[in-house]
Amino acid sequence: MLRVAIIDADLIGRKRHRFPNLACMKLSGYWKGKGVDIVLKTDFTGLSEFDQVFISKVFTDTSVPEDVLSLPNVQHGGTGFFYDKAVPLPDEVEHHRPDYHLYDPWVERQLSAGGKARDFIYYTDYSIGFLTRGCFRKCSFCVNQNYERVSAHSPLAEFFDPERPKICLLDDNFLGYPNWKGLLTGLQQTQRPFQFKQGLDERLLTDEKCAALFSSRYDSDFIFAFDDAADAALIEQKLQLARKHTNAV
Ligand code: SF4
């Protein structure tokens, strides 16, 4: 049987990192589906024992030994290595259901060592994915430079695991998607609390969006991005609008 190692470099290189790498989970789901033996490696040793090693990272300042990257059985990718030039995963991997059990042995080790379960909820409690991708704003500090608009990405069914009690969306600018309402309805129908981890674009709020959003079973606090000080007056106006519908902002 083929043996494949998956390395979430941020897990190794960042002490307080507490969020699973979605690309790693999709790679794991895809290759497990082909009957491959998958190991989540949590160090960079012994990689020659594997037929294939995938290394992914999200953060550019997470260090990975250079000699590891040149090993013949190692492939690496993700925004942490290539920022906005990162090559997307092949479609069949990108749209594969994430393997929500990839991190289980690691989480168990953390809990056995005295870790608190609440610090690992994104590994244990959430279905995670992108309903949409992209953003039209092109803020200079943001990785999302290659998009002109917000587009549909994954149907909810692609990453929703009914056994998980909550949903975490990683969408870049959900409210900028023309059919945001249809997608929001789909989320509400799961009856699971959900959150938009990257925040929502407050400048796009309308009465209709506020009514739909603030009547949802939202998980945690609403996070609204405030990317440009020049928008202060508009943000204030949208805050007033939001407060017509909720006390949560
Ligand atoms: S609005 Fe947000 S997602 Fe869009 S480009 Fe700016 S920072 Fe990035």
Return the DSSP state at 58: S
Over the stretch 193-230, which tens digit does the pLDDT of each residue have?
Answer: 999 999 999 999 999 999 999 999 999 889 998 778 88
Over the stretch 62-120, which tens digit does the pLDDT of each residue have?
Answer: 999 999 999 999 999 999 999 999 999 999 999 999 999 999 999 999 999 999 999 99
Is beta strand 151-152 parallel, antiparallel or unpaired with respect to 132-133? antiparallel
pLDDT at residue 249 above 80?
Answer: no
CB 144 within 8 A of CB 134: yes
Taking the C-alpha atoms of residue 58 and residue 197, their distance in angstroms, rounded to an integer, is 15
Cα(92) to ligand 1 centroid in Å equals: 27
Mean pLDDT of the chain: 96
Confidence of residue 15 (pLDDT cuts 50, 70, 90): confident
Is beta strand 52-56 parallel, antiparallel or unpaired with respect to 74-77? parallel
Contacts of range 116-119, beta carbons closer than 8 Å, 24 or more positions apart: 119/18
Please enumerate in sequence order all residues whose Cβ is within 8 A of that of 194, keeping only pairs 6 or more positions apart, or say none. 166, 167, 168, 169, 187, 216, 217, 218, 219
Query: Residue 4: what pLDDT?
Result: 98
Cα(167) to ligand 1 centroid in Å equals: 21
Q: Catalogue all structural domains in the chain, each as residue range(s) with its CATH number.
A: 3-113 (no CATH), 125-243 (3.30.750.210)
Taking the C-alpha atoms of residue 8 and residue 107, their distance in angstroms, rounded to an integer, is 14
Cα(140) to ligand 1 centroid in Å equals: 9
Query: Residue 226: what pLDDT?
Result: 75
Query: Residue 53: what pLDDT?
Result: 98
Mutate to test the pocket of ligand 1, among 84, 201, 202, 235 (most ligand atoms within 8 A of CB): 201
Say how many C-beta atoms besides its own lie within 10 A of residue 102's C-beta. Answer: 24
The residue type at 33: G
